[in-house]
């Protein structure tokens, strides 16, 4: 209903004392803040969740997305690299690279525009050259950003499959990961999915393999693995 104050009240305690709450509580609160477009709050909550579990796909994706929305572009690419290392079979992850590099390019283009305007009003040839050199520097920086944005956008579009996760539950004796594999091709495919279960330090505790398929073209098949 647009009642931002009431929404913020639902996660005020988590925001004030994130160390006192679980990973899942912080993640859920971050999602609430993100949906209410309270980006600074969402960033703080997702960062706190990230400290508790730095290998969870959802927190990595959401934190990268909030960094994008919060114009903290310099933090996006490193976070997406972590995301892709954990979840390499989903083109949506690679598309975050596209958005990040496009934002960097946009910032460079704004600098080019600024220096070109300064050059117009410069009083001396020396000042004109200085502004011209600065504009040229940002132009040279902008091109590889454009190339990278196009590269990762094409890569995301070309993924032959898409792995998505819909369940991640932990109990004292086991952890269950479930989801689906979408076949983006026209031909029937059978997939072998390997899952590493990690602890907080990134150490592999156990690995499990699931066979999914055959999956018809344009369809999805489900999987579930336990560690």
Q: Per residue in 6-38, pLDDT tens?
A: 888 989 999 999 999 999 999 999 999 999 999
Q: Per residue in 120-177, pLDDT tens?
A: 887 888 877 887 778 777 677 667 777 777 887 788 888 899 999 999 988 888 899 9
In this structure, the number of other CB atoms found within 10 A of the CB of residue 172 comes to 4
Beta bridge partners of 193: 210
The answer to whether residue 51 scores a pLDDT higher than 80 is yes
Q: Which candidate, 140, 150, 47, 132, places its Cα nearest to that of 94?
A: 150
Give the CA radius of gyration of the chain: 22
Angle, CA of 79, 82 and 85, to the nearest 5°: 150
What is the distance of C-alpha 40 from the center of its chain?
A: 16
In the structure encoding, which two tokens stand for residue 224, read together? 């579930």
In the structure encoding, which two tokens stand for residue 30, read together? 């971050």
Per-residue CA distances from 11 to 18, 45, 81 (Å): 10, 9, 29
C-beta separation of 165 from 57 below 8 A: yes
The torsion angle over the Cα atoms of residues 12, 14, 20 and 22, rounded to 10 degrees, is 150
Q: Which candidate, 187, 181, 184, places its Cα nearest to that of 212?
A: 181
pTM for this entry: 0.79
C-beta separation of 189 from 161 below 8 A: yes
């Amino acid at each position: 209903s647009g009642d931002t104050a009431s929404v913020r009240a639902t996660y005020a305690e988590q925001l004030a004392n994130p160390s006192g709450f679980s990973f899942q509580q912080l993640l859920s609160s971050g999602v609430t803040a993100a949906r209410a477009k309270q980006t600074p709050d969402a960033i703080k909550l997702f960062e706190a969740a990230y400290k508790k579990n730095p290998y969870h796909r959802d927190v990595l994706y959401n934190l990268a997305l909030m960094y994008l929305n919060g114009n903290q572009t310099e933090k996006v690419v490193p976070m997406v690299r972590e995301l892709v290392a954990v979840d390499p079979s989903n083109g949506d992850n690679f598309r975050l690279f596209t958005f990040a590099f496009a934002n960097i390019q946009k910032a460079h283009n704004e600098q080019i525009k600024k220096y070109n305007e300064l050059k117009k009003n410069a009083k001396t040839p020396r000042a004109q050259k200085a502004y011209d050199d600065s504009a040229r520097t940002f132009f040279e920086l902008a091109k590889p950003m454009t190339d990278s944005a196009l590269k990762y956008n094409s890569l995301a579009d070309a993924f032959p499959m898409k792995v998505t996760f819909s369940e991640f539950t932990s109990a004292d004796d086991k952890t269950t990961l479930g989801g689906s594999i979408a076949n983006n091709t026209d031909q029937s495919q059978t997939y072998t999915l390997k899952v590493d279960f990690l602890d907080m330090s990134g150490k592999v505790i156990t690995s499990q393999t699931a066979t999914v398929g055959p999956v018809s073209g344009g369809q999805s098949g489900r999987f579930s693995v336990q560690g």
